[in-house]
Chain A
Amino acid sequence: MKRRKVDVAAIPGNFAGGLDDRFRGSTPLRRIINKVFPDHWSFLLGEIALFSFIMLLLTGVFLTLFYTPSLNTVTYDGSYAPLRGVHMSEAYASSLNLSFDVRGGLVIRQMHHWSALLFLAAIVVHMCRIFFTGAFRKPRELNWIIGLTMFWLAFLSGFTGYSLPDDALSGTGLRIASAIMLSIPVIGSWVTTGLFDGEFPGTVIMTRFYITHVLLIPAALLTLITVHLTLVFTQKHTQWRAPGRTEHNVVGERFIPRYIIKQSGFMMAVFGVIALMGGLFQINPIWLFGPYEAFTVSAASQPDWYVMFLDGSTRLFPAWEIRFDLFGWGDGYTIPPLFWPTVVLPGILTVAPMVYPFIEARLTRDYRRHNLLQRPRDVPARTSLGAMSIMFWLVLTLSGGNDVLADKFHVSLNAMTWAGRIGLLILPPLAYYVTYRICLGLQQHDREVLAHGVETGIIRRLPDGRFVEVHQPLAPIDEHGHGSLEYAGWVVPKKMNRVGALGPAIKGFFFPIEKPVEAPVSPGHPPVSPRPEREEITK
């Protein structure tokens, strides 16, 4: 039998043909390749969160292989000599072992912790971007709500993960969490005993936190991330205003290969930063804290950064407790002071932003669809509201470390508490006012440049002795010397360099590697409109 010659070059084509015969994938595949994504650095903040999440999954799987979620007491006999012979929970002992007795375990654990911090940080900054640019407006309200839900899931994920090592610091945090649950009216004690299977700490909490941390929350997050990205994909990304960009198109680069290449490069860069931090910067050195014991705590006990605002609100809230009698039942009832700053406040912080898109649409009577982003300065009320919220958060977060601040700056601790209480009421409205004025000022300056042109830095002396600065108009001017340009919702050039006053940068370290393309203006000649002929001074 004669052997048929295999045409190697035809194999991929034949294979693809075979796939298409079966799945009819050509058209959808090409649609994905050709899908256009707009590009701007601020669109990459959410990606940092996504990539940190991927890193969390990768490092987290490694950690599960060595961690034991058990509160059984064991005696430590691992490599870390100072704790040898100490009684501790198996959870803490296994966390020590994976730090000291597993090859490369510590770097993975630290990378996991740093990824978690970065994950939360990227989510927060990404949410700020969405808020300040109005990207949450119709038709994207649902994705905004999903994003907020993911923030709180990530928050819970962070807290459960932080609690797992059962060290002195996280155990104290867990005890505060149990007190927070206890403070809920009516059901508080039932919720707490249900979760802890009795009184704090019980014996089952690590098992429950473990399954929550490694399965339930990641599964929920993965599902929501999928929905989140699918919605971004089908609704198409928002874009900044610029020439040629309208509400009805997307201007950018096609998905494959350019966008994907940039994304994968960026992902590796994020991984690289996490690896550097995991190796070089120590995080959560649990061996220094010791095992959790109900009677030990140290000063300067601070949670991870994203919990600090709740710690701060707890510290600042006044000692207001509600005690009352309900028809003579029981021995009277209590709503503890802890309930307001740790249950009610996060509740408000969850619900208020979720309904905000609808409130804003109602107040501005703007029910249209929006695909173009707004510059923060163009919506001063929203921007100021955002600045006010950030200030509120900042005061709370700083108050979460007010004992450290008091110690380092030699201030009275009680004074710090009072400063926080007063600051929390005064600073946010102040931030609102200042931001509003800044927004208006920036708006006005944009209009001014459009009307009068860019400042050139060239001072001219008028015949009557006055000095004026020469302005370069951005467009033809009318008889009053005013430009006719409308504000387009995008950056107005305010420096001469931005309108091409300098030639292109010449590349090369010592010598130019190539002769630059002809510069648009010859050097030495100021790129401004010719000045009017000088009048003769006759007198």
Chain B
Amino acid sequence: MTTETHDHGVDRDEVDIFDPRLSRFEIVREGARRDGVEIVHYEDPFPVPGTKAERRMVRTVAACFWITGIAATAFLVIYIWWPWDYDLGSNKGKLYTPLLGLTLGIACLAVGFGILMWGKRLMPHEISVQDRHDGNSGQTERKLTGESIVYMADEIGFKRRKSLGLIALLGLTPIGIVAVAPLLGGLIKSPTKDRILFRTGWDPAANGGRLVRLTREDGTPIRPEDVSVGGQMTVFPDIPGGATNEHADSPTLLIHLRGEDAAKTSADAKPVNQGSQWGNYVAYSKICTHAGCPASLYEQQSNRLLCPCHQSQFLITDNARPIFGPATRSLPQLPITVDEDGYFVATSDYKVAVGPAFWERP
């Protein structure tokens, strides 16, 4: 075993590195010493070359690189020749992605383990100790640098010409703001203009003053008999793009209540919701007042509407009041009636803002 041990920090003579008798390792060690590093332990794991153990380790490392080569080749072959077009059902194409991942993964893992074993098992083990040059720079250095910095201010002359400094500052502040202004200004979009946070696609004003019909996703209008008792349907305003994300605040849930529930709903209606019900039909905003998810899980028996995102629950028969979960506000009710053609229409927009609450919302 070639274990080299040295006392660290002991005074030593400078080594003449041009001395031809020095081995390369001795020069390396001298270089390390000059960098404050002492190699205190250096040991070849296989001091006798060609032992069984060494050959075994070499074979293992070589196997890793063999596996890499085979797996990487397999990756390329699969990548090029394996049928990869997507087709429904179970077919060979379904294996394309797993096979690519498998071969690439094996290739990377094998090369990784090969390198690791080479470094950890075949190379000499070593323990080196390096001094930490820890701590601050020292009083002298601090003083020199500190004074140099303070002197800069003297040189520029802030103290001597105070008013000039002030005026320069006054001039520079706006230019600093100029650098930010275009970015911020470009992004600003007033939320109060056109009251966009309070209006939805149901507003007759945007429909040329005509009342907006309730439609299905495909744009067909809805008659009362289209919704069975206890049933519900998601409806959209009958305007261009009414069922698209352009009107993400407009989806509404039209519910056909059972007779006794409808009577109760009508009797319990808040002032703002009075007259919004048409017969046994009610329409509530589908956008949860908590975080804006569609509150879409309607439980027919208990007349509860559950929002699947954060589990707020709304009681439909009591103004869609929140009865559990983090929501604080009732779902807004859309006032509906039936027009002369027998289709549902909204008599006006929602009377309060739909969706999650915000600062300016009363």
Contact = CB atoms under 8 A, between A and B. Distances in A.
Interface of A: 30-31, 34-36, 71, 73, 79-82, 87, 89, 100-101, 103-104, 106-107, 110-111, 139, 171-172, 175-176, 178-180, 182-190, 192-195, 197-201, 236, 244, 247-254, 257-258, 261-262, 264-280, 292-301, 311, 314-321, 323, 330-338, 341, 369, 371, 402-403, 413-414, 417, 507, 513-514
Given A252-B128, A294-B245, A299 B308 contact: yes
Contact of B358 (A87, A106, A334): A334
B287 A182 contact: no
Nearest to A418: B324
B286 A295 contact: yes
**CB-based closest 5 A-B pairs:** A279-B101, A272-B109, A268-B112, A276-B105, A272-B108
Contacts of A279: 97-102, 104-105
Contacts, number: 317
Interface stretch (B116-124, B137-145, B146-154, B221-229): B116-124
B361 interface: yes
Interface string B351-362: 000011111111
Given A247-B134, A250-B132, A295-B294, A514 B328 contact: no
A194 B189 contact: yes
Contacts of B130: 34-36, 236, 249-250
Interface stretch (B17-25, B48-56, B168-176, B336-344): B48-56
Given A104-B100, A251-B129, A314-B310, A414 B248 contact: no
A183 B112 CA distance: 48
B309 A332 contact: no
Given A265-B116, A294-B287, A514-B51, A337 B328 contact: yes
A80 B355 CA distance: 34
A146 B88 CA distance: 48
A198 B129 contact: no
Contacts of B111: 265, 268, 272
Nearest to A293: B245
Interface in B40-94: 40, 51-53, 56, 79, 84-88
Given A261-B118, A299-B308, A332-B362, A189 B191 contact: yes
A273 B106 CA distance: 8
Given A249-B131, A253-B128, A297-B309, A79 B358 contact: no
A176 B291 contact: yes
Most A Cβ at <10 Å: residue of B32, B134, B356: B356
Nearest to A203: B246
Contacts of B105: 272-277, 279-280
Given A267-B112, A272-B107, A334 B357 contact: yes
B325 A254 contact: no
Contact of A101 (B51, B86, B98, B110): B86
Contact of A265 (B53, B119, B134): B119
Nearest to A315: B310
B97 A336 contact: no
A516 to B, nearest CB: 11
B292 A297 contact: no
Contacts of B37: 34-36, 254
A535 B187 CA distance: 94
Contacts of A195: 187
B303 interface: no
B234 interface: yes
B245 A314 contact: no
Given A73-B244, A507-B53, A314 B115 contact: no
Nearest to B250: A294
Most A Cβ at <10 Å: residue of B107, B109, B297: B109
Contacts of A269: 108-109, 112-113, 116
Interface string B284-315: 00110011111011000000000011111000
A457 to B, nearest CB: 32
Contact of B328 (A79, A236, A278, A336): A336
B322 interface: yes
Nearest to A87: B244
A441 to B, nearest CB: 33
Contact of B188 (A176, A190, A276, A507): A190
B327 interface: yes
5 contacts: A249-B132, A267-B112, A315-B311, A319-B326, A417-B325
A513 B290 contact: no
A82 B97 CA distance: 20
A258 B114 contact: no
B359 A186 contact: yes
B104 A34 contact: no
Nearest to A35: B130
A320 B115 contact: no
A199 B40 CA distance: 68
B126 interface: yes
A241 B172 CA distance: 53
Contacts of B355: 179
Most A Cβ at <10 Å: residue of B37, B197, B294, B329: B37
A85 B105 CA distance: 36
Contacts of A193: 189-191, 196-197
Contact of B326 (A200, A248, A317): A317
Contacts of A111: 101
Contacts of B129: 36, 244, 249-251
Contacts of B126: 253-254, 258
Contacts of B127: 251-253
A194 B87 CA distance: 43
Given A198-B196, A280-B102, 15 more contacts: A36-B129, A80-B86, A107-B97, A182-B356, A189-B358, A193-B196, A200-B292, A261-B119, A265-B113, A268-B111, A272-B105, A273-B105, A294-B247, A319-B325, A336-B356
A266 B116 contact: yes
A163 B104 CA distance: 28
A297 B296 contact: yes
B360 A333 contact: yes
Given A319-B325, A369-B134, A297 B293 contact: yes
A525 B213 CA distance: 95
A465 B107 CA distance: 65
A190 B53 contact: no
B231 interface: no
A252 B126 CA distance: 8
B53 A179 contact: no
Contacts of A185: 359
